[in-house]
Amino acid sequence: MIPLDIHTHRLPDEPGTAVVSLEAGEGLALPSSPCSVGIHPWHITGGWQTQMETLARLAASPQMVALGECGLDKACLKTLLPTERGAAFALQEEVFEAHVRLSEACGKPLIIHCVRAYNELVALRRRHRARQAWVVHGFRGNRQVAAALLDAGCHLSFGERYQAEALRAVPADRLFVETDESLQPASAILAGVAHDRGLTPEEFAQQLQTNYKNVFLHENT
């Protein structure tokens, strides 16, 4: 079975229909169905290097189809004193770059959380000359931001809320859908996105399967 929902925090009703996102940590047992594992920028602690070691060990598992979610988030720095924000963002970049290096080394894509740090993300993709796919999840930005990310080689994943104009700017082979934290079923989100692309859900599901095989299974179709 090919998962059509590439990012959720809940185990799907039907195993294998979604990529479940898990937080890296000691003692984490992977499910037998597809999953991604990473350190979310909201949850970085002093133990992140140990978590990365766990992640590196798990990365050989076939059901771990991606690393993440990981990424950059400037909005969450607002709770800090202004004098602390620079160092906190530098740490986010350091942890994200550790994911980038592991992704390139193990040949698995990244599922990325990015809030108000798109320029930095694009700069990092270029600096690392990343060859693995970077899937920016829960994309709600506008058409211009979408264009900048696509130009840098990123894929975009759309969930419950998004800007239809940005969605329509994405080439068919760079597109995914996800439920993330939504209570809507994946089929409803898929149908909504398909409608905004002028496709039937069946046609769109076909495209999503092809994209999944290309990006997560490295089967060039």
Contact residues toward Zn ion (CB under 5 A) are 180
Q: Which residues, in sequence order, are CB contacts of 114 under 8 Å at separation 6+?
A: 71, 72, 73, 121, 136
DSSP annotation of 26 reads T
Tokens 């350190």 sit at which residue?
Answer: 39
Closer to Zn ion by CB, 18 or 205: give it: 18
How would DSSP label each residue in 118-179? HHHHHHHHHHHT--S-EEE-S----HHHHHHHHHTT-EEEE-SS--HHHHHTS-GGGEEE--
Please choose, from the candidates 28, 31, 19, 105, the residue with its C-alpha nearest in 3D space to the C-alpha of residue 68: 19
20 half-sphere exposure, CB direction, 13 A CA radius: 17
Query: What is the nearest approach in angstroms of Zn ion to the Cβ of residue 68?
Result: 9
Query: What is the nearest approach in angstroms of Zn ion to the Cβ of residue 113?
Result: 6
- Collapsed DSSP state (helix, strand, coil) of residue 20: strand
Closer to Zn ion by CB, 20 or 170: give it: 20
Closer to Zn ion by CB, 11 or 90: give it: 11
Query: What is the nearest approach in angstroms of Zn ion to the Cβ of residue 76?
Result: 13
Closer to Zn ion by CB, 93 or 180: give it: 180
CB-nearest residue to Zn ion: 180
Distance (Å, whole) CA 102 – CA 159: 27
Query: What is the nearest approach in angstroms of Zn ion to the Cβ of residue 206?
Result: 25
Query: What is the nearest approach in angstroms of Zn ion to the Cβ of residue 198?
Result: 28
Closer to Zn ion by CB, 9 or 85: give it: 9
